[in-house]
Structure 1
C-alpha cells in the first residue's frame, strides 16, 4: 500500500529554481580569458592598454615616433625597443619630452599580463608601434602593426 505524501509547493519551487540555475550555468558560454583575470587576450585589448599609458606633451602636435620590438610569452620586452622612425616638432625641449613620453609609455605598460594563448602569439610577432600626435586618421591596424594617436 502506497502512502500519500504531502506535497510542499515551496520545496518544489526551490528545487526547480536550483535545477534551472545549474542548467543555465552548465550551458552558458565561458567568459573570455581576458575578462576572467584581467589578462590581455587579443590585439585590440593590447592596443587599448598601450593607449592608456601614453600622453603626448603639449606643443608636440605633428610629432611621431615609431618602435619595433618583441615581447616574450609573458608579455615582457625582449631587449631594447628599436626606434625605426621619428618626426619631432617643437623646440628641443618639446622633442625631448615627446621621446621620453613614448619611452615611458612602454616602461609603464610593459610587461602586460597576457593569456597563455595570446602570449604564444606575442612570442612570435615583432611589434611595430607608432605614437602619433595628429588627428586620428585611417591607420594600418592589423595585428602587431599598431598606431596610437594622442588623446584629444
Structure 2
C-alpha cells in the first residue's frame, strides 16, 4: 500500500515538505504488483535516501523537475504533453468506466465526498448508466 501523507511544494523559491490540503487527502492506496516491483527497483537505485525519487542533491525533487521528466518520457513515447492532474482525471475516468464504484474512486482521489466525485465525473457515470440500461434491457428481453 501507498500512504499519501505529505506533499512537496515551493515557498519563496525553496522546495519544502508540506502538509496535504485537506484531511481527506491523507489516504492509503493499494498498489498493483507491477507498481510495487517498479518502486522496489527504483528504491534500490537510491541507496539510503529517504526519497524514492531524490533530486541530484539528495533532497526532494522540485515539482518543476518532476513535470519536466514526465514531459520527456511522454515525448519519447510519442505522446502529447499532459499535466499530472490529467493523469489523475484519466485514472478516475477509466476506473468508473470499468465498473469501480464511485465511493472507491472518491476515496482513492482523496475527495471530500462521493457526491463531489459524482458531480465531477457525471459525464462518465451518465454513459455508464446508458450501458447499464442496455445490458438490463438485453437481460430482461431474454427472460420474457
What TM-score does the superposition give when structure 2 sets the normalisation length? 0.21
Q: Which has the higher helix share?
A: 2
What TM-score does the superposition give when structure 1 sets the normalisation length? 0.20
Q: Which has the higher strand share?
A: 1
